[in-house]
Amino acid sequence: MIATTLILLLVLMALAIPVAASMGVLGLLLEKIYSQLPLQRAMGEVAWSASNEFLLVSVPLFILLGEILLRAGFAERMYGALIKWVSWLPGGLMHSNIAACALFAATSGSSVATAATVGTVALPQAKRFGYNERIFLGTLAAGGTLGILIPPSINMIIYAVLTNTSVPKLYLAGIIPGIVLTLMFMLTILLLCAWRPAWGGKRVLATWSERTASLAHLIPPLGIFLVVVGSIYAGIATPTEAASLGVVASLGLAQWAGRLNFAMLREAIEGTMRSTAMVMLIVLAAYFLNFVISSIGLTTALTGFIEGLGWSPAAMLLAVVIFYVILGCFMETLSMMITTIPIIAPVMFKLGFDPIWFGIMIILLVETALVTPPVGLNLFVVQNLRKSGSLNDVIIGSIPFVIALFVMLLVLSLFPQLALWLPSLAS
């Protein structure tokens, strides 16, 4: 049963059948082969209940928030302010790229939006200051991935829905690893510049009065962060309500910057709805497939099979990491999460891994997937922002940061407390 399912799924996917259809059709085929009952009749109920699951409502809201923030025009001033604070370091503006990504990540739940927004304002500076262009591009592609690790995070919501874990706990768990990874990215730049000083380009020095004056430009992103993430921990709002508040706050911000107009809203809504429908069709198919899989006893068979392997938890974890690194090279990341987590996560939980900690590991693996070729979306986004040169520049420039991500995975495996300490304080 396990082999048949796996082969069917691989064949469907390899034939480039849309992921949602692959999962739906796989569910139908499994029903035909293994079930006496007409499982497909439950499809309507399963789909309707998934369709108005309140936590999932936050997904389009977070996408919309990102779409509005991208157009709200505060990134330029935020970037300018961060330059004054961190660009005295060897590597100059490359540090402000990472810092700006981390700060923007605290308002946005998407890695692609983070790389696109910060990339737009940063790229025109690369040549002016004589940085190594490849590393500069790498800081943007890799820095952008912080978008889903530092809360809010769309991917964490999807993980929470798929595994019945708490979004507030996941958000808390992402904060320290997010800060550590930000520092590791900056350390990577420092190490590269120590090794090849010429790559570091010109540093930018600022006086303390300039620095203090620039702090005003950090208020908009911090304000959005407080509204969206702060409201959850102040006990004011659920994640979905927080996302709603974020949308309203971002509208206010766009209005204040004189960027709010009908055309901009229409564009933001079209983009939001397209991404939402794309993800939700996969979610609906996945709910149906999971219903079939558990009805025919495949989940139990799979858990039994994996336990029968007798692998130690550490070996199993290593296998999962390798699996996601490879899969992440070929698959869009949300589809990858929705197709695999319902199967893999229960097995890992049974082996004794903490669901919150495992969630952060998954997010780190998704971040890695976003900057590994051939299907690393962030690489392509950065390449498209600069519109010249070869994609290989971005790929090569990202390699040091992919290594940093691997180190981060190792660190988090050895010190799970990095993720679990803040949530443990809350409960």
Partner 1 sequence: MPPKPALVAALETGLKAADWLSLRAVWGGGTMIFIAAIIVSVDVIARKILGISLGGADELSGYAFAIGTTWALAFTLLRRANVRVDALYQHLPNQVCALLDLLALVALGTFATLLARYGFEVAAESFTRNSMSNTQLKTPLWVPQGMWFLGLALFVVTLGLMLLRGVAALVLGDWASIRALFSARTIEEDAQEEAAYALANKEIPKV
How far is residue 152 from each of residues 72, 335, 355, 407, measured CA to CA in Å? 18, 19, 18, 23
Kindly state the smallest distance separating residue 167's Cβ from partner 1, in Å.
15
Binding to partner 1 by residue 214, rule CB under 8 A? no
Kindly state the smallest distance separating residue 384's Cβ from partner 1, in Å.
4
Binding to partner 1 by residue 360, rule CB under 8 A? no
Kindly state the smallest distance separating residue 304's Cβ from partner 1, in Å.
29
- Give the residue, chosen from 13, 103, 184, 418, that forms a contact with partner 1 under the rule CB under 8 A: 13
Piece of the chain touching partner 1 by CB under 8 A; list 161-169, 242-250, 353-361, 415-423: 242-250
Binding to partner 1 by residue 228, rule CB under 8 A? no
- State which of positions 35-54 bind partner 1 (CB under 8 A): 40-45, 47-48, 51-54
Q: Please count the other Cβ atoms lying within 10 Å of the Cβ belonging to residue 406.
A: 14
Cα 133 from Cα 199, distance rounded (Å): 8
- Give the residue, chosen from 2, 216, 261, 270, that forms a contact with partner 1 under the rule CB under 8 A: 270
Kindly state the smallest distance separating residue 318's Cβ from partner 1, in Å.
24
Piece of the chain touching partner 1 by CB under 8 A; list 57-65, 101-109, 364-372, 415-423: 57-65
For partner 1, which is the closer residue by CB, 250 or 360? 250
- State which of positions 382-401 bind partner 1 (CB under 8 A): 383-385
Residue type, position 389, single letter: G
- State which of positions 157-176 bind partner 1 (CB under 8 A): none
Cα 153 from Cα 173, distance rounded (Å): 12
For partner 1, which is the closer residue by CB, 64 or 404? 64
284 HSE (CA, 13 A, CB side): 19
Structure tokens belonging to residue 287: 């709910």
Kindly state the smallest distance separating residue 406's Cβ from partner 1, in Å.
23
For partner 1, which is the closer residue by CB, 54 or 305? 54
Structure tokens belonging to residue 420: 């679990």
Kindly state the smallest distance separating residue 57's Cβ from partner 1, in Å.
4
Secondary structure element (H or E) that encloses residue 270, with its range: helix 262-295
- State which of positions 250-269 bind partner 1 (CB under 8 A): 259, 265-267, 269
Place of tokens 């429908």: 277
For partner 1, which is the closer residue by CB, 51 or 417? 51
Residue-by-residue DSSP string for 197-236: GGGG-------HHHHHHHGGGGHHHHHHHIIIIIHHHTTS
For partner 1, which is the closer residue by CB, 248 or 410? 248
Structure tokens belonging to residue 232: 């959850």
Structure tokens belonging to residue 36: 């006496």
- State which of positions 79-138 bind partner 1 (CB under 8 A): 79-80, 83, 93, 112-113, 116-117, 119-121, 124-125, 128
Cα 313 from Cα 349, distance rounded (Å): 10
Place of tokens 């692959």: 22
- Give the residue, chosen from 180, 226, 281, 319, that forms a contact with partner 1 under the rule CB under 8 A: 281
- Give the residue, chosen from 1, 8, 35, 57, that forms a contact with partner 1 under the rule CB under 8 A: 57
Cα 303 from Cα 290, distance rounded (Å): 14
- List of residues 6+ apart from 269 with CB closer than 8 A: 64, 67
Structure tokens belonging to residue 258: 């004189």
Kindly state the smallest distance separating residue 139's Cβ from partner 1, in Å.
16
Please say whether the dihedral angle defined by the alpha carbons of residues 43, 49, 55 and 58, taken in this order, is positive or negative: positive
Cα 377 from Cα 275, distance rounded (Å): 14
Kindly state the smallest distance separating residue 357's Cβ from partner 1, in Å.
28
